[in-house]
Amino acid sequence: MILHATYREGRNTSLPCLVWLHGFLGSHREWLALCENFADWPQLLVDLPGHGESANVVAGDFTQVDKLLRNTLLSYNILNYWLVGYSLGGRVAMYHACQGGNRGLCGLIVEGAHPGLADENARYERKNSDHLWAQRLSTEPLTAVLSDWYQQPVFHSLNDEQRRALISTRSQNNALTLAAMLEATSLGNQPDLQAALKKLPLPFYYLCGERDEKFRAVAQSLELSPHVIAAAGHNAHRENPAAFSACLLNLCSK
């Protein structure tokens, strides 16, 4: 089984493919507004399990998500690639990079993604929290759940208009498959990748919004100097796509 994905040929076929991984509630469409800025590169825009046109694809844990991603890369004959992942997509990318058996991986770029919790109590609390959100997704109108979801502190920089736009876009999702994916890939179920990430033998860049204090601190905990996107919060690629694209173009061209 593979994930749904959209492939775009690049003007320079010798460049590695940029593989885009969206965050929770998103889809491959999340990146469409940015793709034109990377027309030199081959690109693969992936729908993660439970999302977009992969809504009927089920994964029980990170191992299964990674297997689906690997199968998808093989099916498109993508042998050299960068992973670019936001939030949940960044966690999937980091997990993939730390598992080995990925000789084609040229580099890793993540935006506002957590490497994993080291503290067992924190992991337990996060699993409980995600379980409660999953229950709400399974039993309540999706728009009502999303309205509360985007009131969480990590989204504090969104204004009312941005919040309404996200709720409108995300309301097209399948709430039940989102709930299943949320529990399967809860941060409480994710391995702590911090030690492995510090030993990666490939370029690893961390991006986050200027107003995303939580993930600026996460980057520093990984002993990385984050690339800060001005005038943006947690969802930096949506809030300041021009600055985000400029930063990525610079990193990919090194």
pLDDT tens by residue, 170-212: 998 999 999 999 999 999 999 999 999 999 999 999 999 999 9
Amino acid 223: pLDDT: 85
pTM of the model: 0.96
Amino acid 120: pLDDT: 95
Answer yes or no: are the C-beta atoms of 94 and 205 closer than 8 Å: no
User: With helix as H, strand as E and coil as C, how does 33-60 read?
Assistant: HHHHHHCCCCEEEECCCCCHHHCCCCCC
Averaged over successive runs of 10 residues, the pLDDT of the chain (254 residues) comes to 96 95 95 94 98 95 98 97 98 96 94 95 97 97 94 89 91 94 97 94 95 91 90 92 96 84
Tokens of 199: 């030993």
Amino acid 172: pLDDT: 86
Answer yes or no: are the C-beta atoms of 28 and 45 closer than 8 Å: yes
Tokens of 33: 């507004």
Considering only CA atoms, which of 98, 43, 44 is closest in space to residue 66? Answer: 98
For the chain, give me the number of helices (H) and strands (E)? 11, 7
